[in-house]
């Protein structure tokens, strides 16, 4: 009975908290709740008086039982309230609203491929133009005979690049080569060889006024194609019936022997140092009417050997025994050897490489020769490329040729 009263009182307490938020104490509903609670309190007081009449032990058991049941009822009511609040919270509508429904498009918004292609094309063109401008600004190699002639030096021949010469050059790198590797022999119709035939005609008249029939071929710097010009020009001259002697005077890095499948042994340096005779130094080749002298063993003093009287005597004797003596020398801006040889030779030509040799290098090289009393007759512009085709008016320059 007491537990039921306590439960009713607790329930009235919860209801009072709810009603107090809606009504004042003067409202009939509020008054009715207060009256009912008053009645229950009076009944509780009556029951307490009856309990007081019970023995002490029984009263204590009754009190504890009542407290347990009351607490259980309170716990259950609190759980119910928690569940009710969770249900109310889950049913609360959020503040998110659908403004527009999503739509799908057949054409993607991004990436915009046409725009990317246009921008990539423009950017690529700008980079290419910038590359060409920078390359032109930093490298001012001669690209036409006119540029060379502005320095006061005549151009005797313009030799286009040869595609086949690239194959020949790759074979020359094999030091054990025993075959004849000359473009003039492998492809006599090559346009670079045709240009060298034109050089032969030009030199024929130029050398008529020279003091002897010795032709020295040099250049300002390495890797411009001196040996290519010397060897193939010698072969072209030999095919006309002239008896030609080709001498490799680059005793440091000469590789003329590889073009003819020979070895460097018993060469010029060996002859000048007195190790062998002139008869032993001259080597025949597979090209009719063409003999060669290789560089020999690399000496410690090439310039001193060239200044020896034996070299002058050798050149004089060779010029008498041969119709044409061609001497291939190292770069004049690197060593003094060409100046020594040029003083003996009747005609001196320099080789310049297209888009590599600069006008300044040609001027300095000519000045170096003039200081030694050597007159440079002219220049051979080697390895002309396709981009220079329209500058010269020759039909065969409409193609790209590569030569060494």
Is 363 a member of any domain? yes
Structural domain range at position 51: 2-81
Residues 69, 197: one domain? no
Looking at the predicted structure, is the pLDDT value of residue 12 above 90? no
Is 216 a member of any domain? yes
Query: Where does a domain end: 61, 81, 101?
Result: 81
Give dist(CA 344, CA 397) in Å, integer: 36
**pLDDT for the residue 84:** 82
Residues 188, 58: one domain? no
Is 126 a member of any domain? no
Is 129 a member of any domain? no
Query: Where does a domain end: 48, 81, 114?
Result: 81
- Region 59-70: mean pLDDT is 75
Residues 156, 18: one domain? no
Residues 207, 77: one domain? no
Residues 71, 160: one domain? no
For residues 269 and 315, the answer to whether their CB atoms sit within 8 Å is no
Residues 278, 353: one domain? yes
- Region 342-360: mean pLDDT is 95
Is 20 a member of any domain? yes
240-249: per-residue pLDDT in tens? Answer: 999 999 999 9
- Region 305-324: mean pLDDT is 96
In this prediction, residue 59 has a pLDDT band, given cuts at 50, 70 and 90, of: low
Q: Domain count for the chain, please give it.
A: 2
Mean pLDDT of the chain: 85
**pLDDT for the residue 169:** 80
Is 299 a member of any domain? yes
User: Which of 248, 239, 287 shows the shortest CA–CA distance to 266?
Assistant: 248
| 3-state SS string for 343-385 | CCCCEEEEEEECCCCEHHHHHHHHHHHHHCCCCCCEEEEEEEC
Is 203 a member of any domain? yes
In this prediction, residue 321 has a pLDDT band, given cuts at 50, 70 and 90, of: very high
Of the chain, the percentage scoring pLDDT greater than 90 comes to 54
Is 110 a member of any domain? no
In this prediction, residue 404 has a pLDDT band, given cuts at 50, 70 and 90, of: very low
Residues 187, 60: one domain? no
Residues 169, 21: one domain? no
Residues 15, 149: one domain? no
156-199: per-residue pLDDT in tens? Answer: 999 999 988 888 887 776 655 667 789 999 999 999 999 999 99
265-294: per-residue pLDDT in tens? Answer: 999 999 999 999 988 999 999 999 999 999
Residues 272, 386: one domain? yes
CATH number at residue 200: 3.40.50.300
User: Which of 367, 316, 370, 317 shows the shortest CA–CA distance to 346?
Assistant: 316
Residues 73, 222: one domain? no
Residues 75, 150: one domain? no
For residues 44 and 9, the answer to whether their CB atoms sit within 8 Å is yes
In this prediction, residue 350 has a pLDDT band, given cuts at 50, 70 and 90, of: very high
In this prediction, residue 392 has a pLDDT band, given cuts at 50, 70 and 90, of: very low
């Amino acid at each position: 009975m007491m537990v039921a009263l306590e439960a009713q009182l607790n329930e009235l307490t919860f209801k009072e908290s709810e009603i107090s938020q809606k009504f004042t104490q003067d409202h009939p509903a509020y008054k009715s709740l207060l009256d009912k609670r008053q009645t229950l309190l009076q009944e509780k007081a009556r029951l307490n008086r009856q309990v007081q009449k019970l023995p002490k032990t029984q009263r204590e058991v009754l009190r504890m039982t009542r407290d347990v049941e009351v607490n259980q009822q309170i716990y259950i009511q609190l759980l119910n309230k928690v569940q009710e609040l969770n249900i109310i919270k889950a049913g609360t509508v959020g503040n998110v609203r659908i403004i527009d429904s999503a739509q799908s498009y057949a054409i993607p918004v991004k990436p915009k491929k046409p725009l990317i292609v246009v921008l990539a094309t423009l950017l690529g063109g700008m980079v290419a133009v910038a590359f060409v401008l920078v390359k032109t600004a930093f490298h001012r190699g001669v690209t036409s005979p006119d540029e060379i002639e502005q320095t006061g030096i005549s151009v005797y021949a313009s030799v286009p690049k040869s595609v086949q010469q690239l194959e020949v050059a790759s074979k020359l790198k094999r030091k054990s080569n025993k075959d004849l590797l000359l473009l003039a022999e492998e492809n006599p119709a090559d346009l670079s060889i045709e240009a060298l035939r034109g050089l032969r005609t030009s030199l024929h008249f130029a050398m008529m006024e020279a003091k002897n029939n010795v032709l020295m071929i040099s250049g300002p710097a390495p890797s411009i194609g001196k040996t290519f010009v010397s060897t193939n020009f010698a072969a072209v001259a030999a095919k006309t019936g002239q008896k030609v002697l080709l001498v490799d005077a680059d005793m440091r890095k000469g590789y003329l022997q590889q073009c003819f499948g020979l070895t460097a042994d018993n060469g010029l340096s060996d002859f000048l140092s007195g190790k062998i005779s002139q008869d032993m130094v001259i080597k025949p080749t597979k090209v009719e009417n063409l003999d060669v002298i290789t560089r020999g063993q690399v000496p410690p003093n090439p310039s001193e050997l060239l200044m020896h009287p034996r070299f002058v005597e050798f050149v004089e004797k060779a010029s008498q025994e041969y119709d044409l003596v061609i001497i291939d020398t190292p770069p004049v801006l690197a060593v003094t050897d060409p100046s020594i040889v040029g003083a003996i030779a009747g005609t001196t030509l320099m080789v310049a490489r297209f888009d590599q040799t600069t006008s300044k290098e040609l001027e300095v090289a000519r000045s170096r020769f003039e200081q030694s009393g050597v007159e440079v007759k002219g220049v051979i512009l080697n390895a002309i490329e396709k981009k220079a085709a329209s500058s010269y008016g020759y039909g065969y320059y409409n193609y790209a040729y590569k030569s060494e």
